Amino acid sequence: MNKEIEREIKHLKDKVKKLKDRVLKGNKKEAKKIEPLIEEMSSKIQELERLNAQVKPIDIVRLARHPKRPTTLDYIRLMIRSFMELHGDRRFADDQAIIGGIGFLNDIPVTIIGHQKGRNTKDNLKRHFGMAHPEGYRKALRLMEQAERFGRPIINLIDTPGAYPGIGAEERGQAEAIAYNLYKMSGLKVPIVSVITGEGGSGGALALGVADRVYMLSNTIYSVISPEGCAAILWKDATKSEEAAESLKLTANDLLKFRVIDDIIEEPGEGAHTDHEETAKRLKSKLLETIKELLTKDLSTLLRERYEKFRKIGVFVEDMPEDPLVKM
């Protein structure tokens, strides 16, 4: 479902209702002029509803992976003033799959971190297609802890198929690096805002996803596994990815309903890839609004609400076991 289309449908329906009210209250001459307008708008509503129904989760997956979507570096260029990139985890290497540094969001000093995909094959190989090694997550945590020391809000931009699955990454403690990020981020004493800007794949995304506010752009995904991976495991058939995408409930609308995320940032036109500047403008506006709100909270409230936010995720009903000793 596309929220821009839904808004247009609602707008047209409101107009039709007002016109119908005028027909009921007006004279026959006026009614003859209005009725063709009502028919035209009703036809447009039906067309938009058909279009909205045709947008499937697998279509959102394809848009989330579009090669021309804005990357973290694009958002930094369009939103952040006086950006200075910071490198390395001070242990092993500087992972190019994660970009991070300091700068100004308007007049607010911030630390901004994000996954970085490439624009061509050479760049993607350099950046591991946006899949970070342990040193990438350790670099991100180093910058977040630096932000805490200087009292800077943290912005995390998430766009990754998942953590890098290579032998070297496993040898250097991929799972530990991700888990340690989750542990440390839950207690950082500064506001954190995370935004899924493309793919939000598994633990690779979650390692930057513990935040006071989690948002998604409207054509993005956030899931424990890719549709292809899910199909290969459940049905031993990667071609069933469309069915898997439907079952995984990985779209922004699904995750907002489940309260996994806090809000959706609408993309312009047919998607973020069609207008980088407008997408960055909408994202910046949401970040400014959120950070200003979070900066008004005292530390104990900020940390308590962050903890409670994640404790509330996941709703289930568990039947009480039948006690054989209790006679009805």
Residue located via tokens 């935040």: 211
Letter string b/e over residues 211-221, b meaning 16 or more CB atoms within 10 A of that residue's CB: bbbbbbbbbbb
What pLDDT is recorded for position 27? 65
What pLDDT is recorded for position 325? 58
What pLDDT is recorded for position 32? 75
- In which element (H, E) is residue 155 found? strand 154-160
What pLDDT is recorded for position 14? 84
In whole angstroms, give the CA distance from residue 116 to residue 107.
25
What pLDDT is recorded for position 181? 96
In whole angstroms, give the CA distance from residue 205 to residue 203.
5
Residue located via tokens 């995984």: 248
In whole angstroms, give the CA distance from residue 62 to residue 46.
26
What pLDDT is recorded for position 56? 86
CA 211 vs CA 114, 239, 290, 303: distances in Å: 14, 35, 12, 10
In whole angstroms, give the CA distance from residue 231 to residue 227.
6
CB 73 within 8 A of CB 123: no
What pLDDT is recorded for position 324? 57
Segments in the chain below pLDDT 50: 328
What pLDDT is recorded for position 40? 84
Surface-to-core class of residue 97, CB atoms within 10 Å of its CB (0-12 exposed, 13-18 middle, 19+ buried): buried
> CA neighbours within 13 Å on the CB side: how many for 258?
17
Paired tokens of 232: 């290969």
> CA neighbours within 13 Å on the CB side: how many for 253?
13
What pLDDT is recorded for position 304? 96
CB 196 within 8 A of CB 156: no
Find the Cα–Cα–Cα–Cα dihedral 53, 54, 58, 59, rounded to 10°.
Answer: -120
pLDDT for 157-176, tens place per residue?
A: 999 999 999 999 999 999 99
What pLDDT is recorded for position 51? 65
Cα–chain center distance at 51: 23
What pLDDT is recorded for position 16? 83
What pLDDT is recorded for position 37? 83
What pLDDT is recorded for position 286? 97
